[in-house]
Structure 1
Amino acid sequence: MLIAKYLPSAKDARIYMSVERTYLGYIRFSLYTLSFAVFLRKLEVLADITQKINVSVLLEHIAIGLSIIGTLLIIAGILTFYFDIKYIEGGIEVSPKEVTDPRIYMAAERTFLAWIRTSIALIVFGFVIEKFEFFLEQLERVFNIHLGGDHRSLVGIGVFIILVGLFTLIIGTINFYRTIRQVDIGYYRTHTWLYKTYGAVIFLACLVLTFYMLKII
């Protein structure tokens, strides 16, 4: 966090975009954590079916812990982004000449690529969640058992996350062109309200998934 370093602040476009990329990094890291938690849940189900109770309990606890960590990472990312942007806004103004620095255009491209990476991560994560329901259905058929919980709701969660991934790509594209247009005229400000809303949607999806993971089996 910039505010924790007590660094001098300026309303520089590169600083804004650097914070934005950090924000997206938190989201991707959270998704990776939750994806691994889903994978452990699959292993837990297999261990439970094969009567390896100790392994099943261990995997369950690790999966729950990772789910909670993933959700907390989203919260940390949102708070970090909010306070860093607020800190930057209190900095000195920069001249239009500094805003049109060629390095800012390259920073905008890097930020756009960060949005694309986050979009891909969300789409892949959505498919992982959706296929988890298919995995549970196949286990029920193969072993002729009934697993507790309403697994069909996983499809809805997965599809929702995929749609959020597509929405992320749209936001990133619009944000990229908006950034280039602003830099061309020597002025840049980030739309914090948009990122707060986006972060809230991601957080809500992760929170629902975490609660579901806590009671899935």
Structure 2
Amino acid sequence: MLLLKHLPTVREPRLYLSMERTYLSYLKFLFIAFGTGILSKKMILLLAALHFYGLIPFFQDLYKLLTWPVLILLFMVFYFFVRDLRYINRGAPVTAKEIQDPRIYFSAERTFLSWIRTGISIVIFGFVMEKFDFFLTKLALMMHRVITLHASFSGMSIIFLVLGIINIAVGLGGFMLTVYQVEHGAYHPHHKLYGFYGLSLLVCLSLLSYLLIKLSI
């Protein structure tokens, strides 16, 4: 995070792209951690149905560790991204010759692939969360036992799927804009895309917080 290091900055495309990749890595890690916390809650239901009570405290601790703390960290990542973006925007501009650098194309491709990886990871975890519900339902039928699944579980899976798709779409849009701007020698930060993604992320995080509260009641 640039602000914590107090580094000099310029409005250079590769700097913006590198910042995107850094924060996408944070997001991917934290969303996978949050999804693991939700799966831990489902494991508690499974273990209770199977009468394996010895492992339940472990998954309860895992659930507590990977839900609210991770959500708070996700909000913090969003906040620091905005701060770093403003910090870079205060830097000196670069010339058209510096913008039309072949290395920027490769940097744009790496950033696009990072968006894709993050989106696919979130989508896959959404599917895993949803399929685990299906597994628990079928297991309950086979064992003639009742496993009550909270409606919040399905809502969280849908949020993961939607956010993953948004990730891929925003990454594609950002890549196309970057290539177009570099070809014309005038790069501008994708503030509208950042704003759209930031708003989508805030909505998803708010919904996850709401569903987590309902799950805890």
Give matches, 1:1-20, under 5 Å. Answer: 1-20=1-20
Tell me, in whole angstroms, the C-alpha distance in 2 between the residues paired with 1:198 and 1:178.
Answer: 15
Per-residue deviation at 1:206? Answer: 4.3
Tell me, in whole angstroms, the C-alpha distance in 1 between the residues paired with 2:200 and 2:207.
Answer: 11
Q: Answer yes or no: is the 8 Å Cα contact 1:27–1:73 preserved in 2.
A: no
Q: Answer yes or no: is the 8 Å Cα contact 1:11–1:94 preserved in 2.
A: yes
Give matches, 1:32-181, under 5 Å. Answer: 32-151=32-151, 153-181=152-180
Per-residue deviation at 1:49? Answer: 2.2
Q: Answer yes or no: is the 8 Å Cα contact 1:78–1:196 preserved in 2.
A: no
Consecutive unaligned residues of structure 1, counting only runs of 5 or more, are none
Q: Answer yes or no: is the 8 Å Cα contact 2:170–2:197 preserved in 1.
A: no
Q: Answer yes or no: is the 8 Å Cα contact 2:46–2:136 preserved in 1.
A: no
Summarize the Cα distance change of 1:136–1:210 in structure 2 as closer, same or farther, 3 Å threshold. Answer: farther
Per-residue deviation at 1:33? Answer: 0.4
Letter in 1 for 2:130: E
Per-residue deviation at 1:109? Answer: 0.7
- Between Structure 1 and Structure 2, how many residues are aligned? 216
- Please give the per-residue CA displacement for 1:84-137, whole angstroms capped at 9, x wherever unaligned: 110011111111111111111111111111111011112102202211321231
Match of 2:204 in 1: 205
Per-residue deviation at 1:193? Answer: 4.2
Q: Which moved more, 1:187-196 or 1:16-25?
A: 187-196
Q: Which moved more, 1:120-129 or 1:154-163?
A: 154-163
Tell me, in whole angstroms, the C-alpha distance in 2 between the residues paired with 1:156 and 1:134.
Answer: 14
Q: Which moved more, 1:107-116 or 1:140-149?
A: 140-149
Q: Answer yes or no: is the 8 Å Cα contact 1:67–1:210 preserved in 2.
A: no
Letter in 1 for 2:182: V
SS at match of 2:93: coil
Give the TM-score taking structure 2 as reference length.
Answer: 0.87
